């Protein structure tokens, strides 16, 4: 009887220790800086510069094992680029006057990252999908000899859905998580017409640095 009671006590102790070893799910808010680029491959592009934007939203970190976890997120993300167009045939090719064009793209992004935890550090990668909620290219000068036409490109001129891959690193310091990642888009942003011609099948490329707070 004593041996049986001791066995039960040891089994209970092992179960408690196992539960303590398993990390619990964590939920919180996160936000940070976006450095985005479109990498437009067009003969009339003279210069391209990153756009500084931001992202903010919610995340959850759900452990699968002691060192593996999945982290779904819902973010509002501001991306785009600054592209300078020029060349003697610019009006004939694109129908615009030379100068800098600023693309502003706003997405609701849903990344799902799979994490490998190494102590407080993690390496993460996974897919993302995004929905375009707002886009604008303001005061685009059209090369029309008969008028001084000013045009704006809005959301309807761009593909609503984007998808791609992400990868990055992070570190957890108690309830705070800090990290950096890169989002590599797999779908062209311009749907057709002038937006498609200006971006020439360009895809989103976004470097992010972030900080999150567990709740």
Residue 96 binned pLDDT confidence (cut-offs 50, 70, 90): confident
In the 8-state DSSP scheme, what is residue 16?
A: H
Examine residue 122 and state whether it is found in any structural domain, yes or no. yes
Report pLDDT for 145: 53
Report pLDDT for 139: 75
Contact 110, 133 (CB under 8 A): no
Helix-strand-coil percent breakdown of the chain, rounded to 5? 15, 65, 20
103-112 per-position pLDDT tens digit: 999 999 999 9
- Closest Cα partner for 108 from 168, 55, 50? 55
Examine residue 5 and state whether it is found in any structural domain, yes or no. no
- Closest Cα partner for 144 from 71, 194, 75? 194
Over residues 59-71, mean pLDDT: 96
Examine residue 165 and state whether it is found in any structural domain, yes or no. yes
Q: Tokens 């942003």 correspond to what residue?
A: 189
This prediction's pTM: 0.84
Over residues 131-142, mean pLDDT: 88
Written as one string, the DSSP assignment of 68-91 is EEEEEEEEEEEEEEEEEE--TTHH
Examine residue 41 and state whether it is found in any structural domain, yes or no. yes
Q: Which domain holds residue 64?
A: 24-214
Residue 202 has phi, psi (to 5 degrees) of -70, 155
Examine residue 51 and state whether it is found in any structural domain, yes or no. yes
Q: Which two tokens stand for residue 78?
A: 């501001």
175-199 per-position pLDDT tens digit: 999 999 999 999 999 987 888 989 9
Residue 213 binned pLDDT confidence (cut-offs 50, 70, 90): very high
- The CATH number for 80's domain is 2.40.160.20
Number of structural domains (the chain) is 1
Examine residue 140 and state whether it is found in any structural domain, yes or no. yes
Examine residue 17 and state whether it is found in any structural domain, yes or no. no
Cβ-Cβ contacts under 8 Å for 103 (sequence gap 6 or more): 38, 51, 80, 81, 82, 83, 135, 137, 189, 199
**CA 81, CA 150: separation in Å to the nearest integer?**
20
Examine residue 167 and state whether it is found in any structural domain, yes or no. yes
Which residues face 118 on adjacent strands? 121
Which residues face 201 on adjacent strands? none
Cα distances from 20 to residues 16, 66, 114, 209, in angstroms, run: 6, 10, 22, 31
Length of the chain: 215
């Amino acid at each position: 009887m004593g041996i049986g009671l001791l066995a039960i006590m040891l089994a209970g102790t092992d179960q408690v220790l196992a539960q303590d070893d398993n990390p619990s799910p964590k939920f919180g808010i996160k936000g940070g800086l976006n450095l985005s680029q479109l990498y437009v491959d067009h003969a009339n592009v003279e210069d391209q510069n990153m756009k500084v934007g931001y992202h903010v939203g919610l995340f959850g970190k759900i452990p699968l094992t002691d060192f593996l976890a999945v982290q779904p997120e819902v973010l509002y993300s501001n991306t785009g680029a600054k592209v300078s167009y020029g060349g003697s045939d610019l009006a004939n090719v694109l129908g615009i006057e030379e100068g800098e064009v600023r693309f502003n793209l706003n997405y609701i992004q849903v990344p799902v990252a799979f994490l490998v935890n190494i102590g407080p550090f993690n390496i993460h990668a996974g897919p993302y999908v995004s929905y375009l909620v707002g886009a604008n290219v303001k005061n685009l000068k059209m090369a029309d000899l008969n008028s001084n036409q000013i045009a704006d490109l809005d959301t309807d001129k761009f593909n609503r859905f984007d998808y791609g891959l992400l990868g990055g690193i992070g570190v957890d310091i108690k309830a705070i998580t800090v990290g950096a990642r890169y989002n590599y888009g797999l779908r062209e942003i311009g749907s057709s017409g002038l937006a498609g011609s200006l971006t020439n099948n360009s895809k989103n490329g976004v470097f992010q640095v972030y900080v999150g707070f567990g709740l």
